[in-house]
Every structure is written in C-alpha cells, then in structure tokens.
Amino acid sequence: MTEFQFPPPPESQSGDGRTPQQMPHDRQAEEAVLGSVLVNPEVYYDVAQFLTADDFFLHRNRWIWEAYTSLQEQRLPVDILTVSEELGRQSRLDEIGGPAYLTTLINNVPSSLHAEAYARVVEETATRRRLLAAANQIARFAYQTATSIEDVVNESEKSIFGVSERRLTHQLQPIKRVLSEYYDRIDYLARHQDETIGVPTGFIDLDRLLGGLQSSDLLIIAGRPGQGKSGFCLSVAKNAAQIYKRHVALFSLEMSNEQLVQRLLSQETGIDSQRLRMATLRDDEWPVFTQAVSSMGETQIYLDDTPAITPLQLRTKCRRLHMEVGLDLIVVDYLQLMTGDTRIDNRVQEVSYISRNLKALAREL
C-alpha cells in the first residue's frame, strides 16, 4: 500500500521554514475546564453531559479528567487533595506535574461561570481531530485497490458516521418547557380533529385507533409465516406515498426491487402476481397496468434490496436520504434477515442490538 501524507493547510505553507500546522487543540481551554471543576465541582455535571476524557488533546489533561470521573463514580468530592490522591493511586501524579500543576489550573481559571463555554471549545477541537483521523482513514481505504469500491464506500461512511454520532446528545429539559410544547400540540390537534396525527396507513380503523404511525416510533409487525406481514407493510408504504404524498424508504432483504414493484403493481391493479410475472395480461388489463405504472412512478418511494444489510448501513442510507428529500416512513422487511455490525455469537443478542439501533434511528430522524 502506498504511503502518503496530506499537504499542510495553505496558511502553513508560508515558505519561511515553519513546521506544518499542529493538530487542532486549545491548551488554555482544556486547562480552564479542568480548573473550573476544581474551583466549583458543580460545573462537572454540566460539562460531563457532552465532554469525555477522549476530547482532551494533552495526555495529562485527559488523565485529570479521568480522575474527576473516577471520583464521581466513587461518590467522592472533587478537590485538589482528592484529585491528587486519585492520580497518585494511578501512578500519574508525577507525570502530570504534581500538585503544583493542579494549583496552576486553579489560579489560571478566568471564571468558573464560563466552564461550559470552555468545554464547547474543547469539544469542537476534538471533533476536528476526529474528522482529520477519519479523512486519513478514508484515504487509506481509497488506496486499497484490492478492496471492492462498495466496501471502501461503506467503510468511509462508517468513519464519518462515527464522528457525527458522538455529537448526537440530548440535554435535560425542565418539565415546564416540555409541558408547554405538549400543550401547543394538544391545542393544535383539538383544532384539527379530522386530521391524522402521524403518517396515515390507509387502513381507516387502524388510523382511528393509532392516529397514524407516530414519529420516533419503532413498530414491529409480528405473525406466523405466510400470514401477510410483507403484504401489509407494502400496502402501508404504498398508501402513505400514493394517497398521502409521504416520503417512504422501503428496505427488502427478502425480495428484489423488481419483485417489490411486482407486488405493488399487483395490489394497485388487482392483477394476479403470477400473471404479472409471466406477462400474461389480457388486452383489457394493459391500460390498467400502464396507468398503475405511471401512477406509482409519481410516488416518493425509495427501494433498497441490499441483502443482509447491517444497522449501520441502513442508518447511513436513511440519513443521506433524509437530508436530501426528508423521510416520513421507513419499512424494513424483515428484521431477522439483518446482520449486526460486529460479530455476536448469540443470535438473541444480535437481534436485540439490531432493534436498539433501529429505535435509535427512529428517534434521530
């Protein structure tokens, strides 16, 4: 494999002999965060919601944050004495510069009131470093000519997704704000009684019972083999896209895209699937078939027949499609044919892992 290096950023190519630009980091911000916690331990709970030890560039600062975390897990107070003892127990106190460095952190804090702002700077520089690492990894994948381009693209998307996924955090909210949003929603629904709240399925009784398919929900259609689970899901997808103009992504691990289209057209025209497969249409059925093809072609249904798709692959495709057109409904047929992103010997645990990831995707989108 060919070894290479990225060229330094334009601003570092001044021709005056300066070294290339260093990895993004902010030493003062890191020290300000650590010092703020020593001055006011309560700020740890604010910044620990989004900041981790890996976000610190300097090793000694990373070790100090790990000591804070360890003390919190032991339910011990965080101060210069307890932190020194914890670092000493880990044989790291001398390596960070001893108690003198901790004292320096306290003395150099501009204001502990701005701890969250300092922490955001640390988080931002850490994200830039991860993006650079992902870019290097993608470049290495691209140079591996023996690897298929599909695998290269999938691994590249996985690298970028790993960076963006870390930024998906949800802060605690006061109940007053949630209640206000809920009141507004109930008020809207009261004034629009005839409208379906979520994505309509086209089945009147089911929509009346559920209020449509709700956003952020993961719904699993269960039943014995041959009971019509796939047919029901296809009907819901077709109705949502064709009648209610919603954007639908349909992933089939069991049927090809051509088979999916065949079943959708069979539902739309009432022509037997077997006769569609064999193209034995009567003369009076051709106009109906042509009209159905034209009508279905106007819908916003997106098909994918990747076999044994993993949760990460599905998530990547859905996120990309959601950014391009916006998704209202995702249908996966069916769960048992999916595989995990990592090898898991226990199939029950693997299905549980897949279900968790699908639920996380529903919440995210």
pLDDT at 66: 92
Residue 301 lies in a domain: yes
As a dihedral over the C-alpha atoms of residue 75, residue 78, residue 82, residue 88, rounded to 10 degrees, the angle is 100
pLDDT band at 2 (very low <50, low <70, confident <90, very high): very low
Q: Note the helical H segments in the chain.
A: 27-39, 43-47, 59-73, 80-89, 93-96, 98-107, 115-143, 149-166, 175-190, 204-210, 229-242, 257-269, 273-278, 286-297, 311-324, 347-364
pLDDT band at 10 (very low <50, low <70, confident <90, very high): very low
pLDDT at 170: 52
In this structure, what token pair is assigned to residue 251?
């992933």
CATH of the domain at 220: 3.40.50.300
Residues 107 and 246 in one domain: no
Supply the DSSP symbol for 91.
T
Residue 184 lies in a domain: no
Q: Over the chain, what is the mean pLDDT?
A: 83
Residue 186 lies in a domain: no
Residues 94 and 153 in one domain: yes
Of 56-70, 205-219, 312-326, 333-347, which range is least confident? 333-347
User: What is the count of structural domains for the chain?
Assistant: 2
Residue 194 lies in a domain: no
Residues 322 and 255 in one domain: yes
89-111 pLDDT, tens per residue? 999 999 999 999 999 999 988 98
Residue 60 lies in a domain: yes
Residues 141 and 266 in one domain: no
Residues 347 and 230 in one domain: yes
In this structure, what token pair is assigned to residue 193?
């009684």
Residues 135 and 254 in one domain: no
Domain-terminating residue out of 172, 203, 231: 172
350-359 pLDDT, tens per residue? 888 888 888 8
111-150 pLDDT, tens per residue? 888 998 999 999 999 989 988 988 998 898 888 888 888 7
Structural domain harbouring 122: 1-172
Domain-terminating residue out of 172, 205, 232: 172
Residues 131 and 18 in one domain: yes
Residues 222 and 314 in one domain: yes
Residues 166 and 306 in one domain: no
Residue 180 lies in a domain: no
C-beta separation of 28 from 114 below 8 A: no
Domain-terminating residue out of 118, 148, 172: 172
AA identity, residue 291 = Q
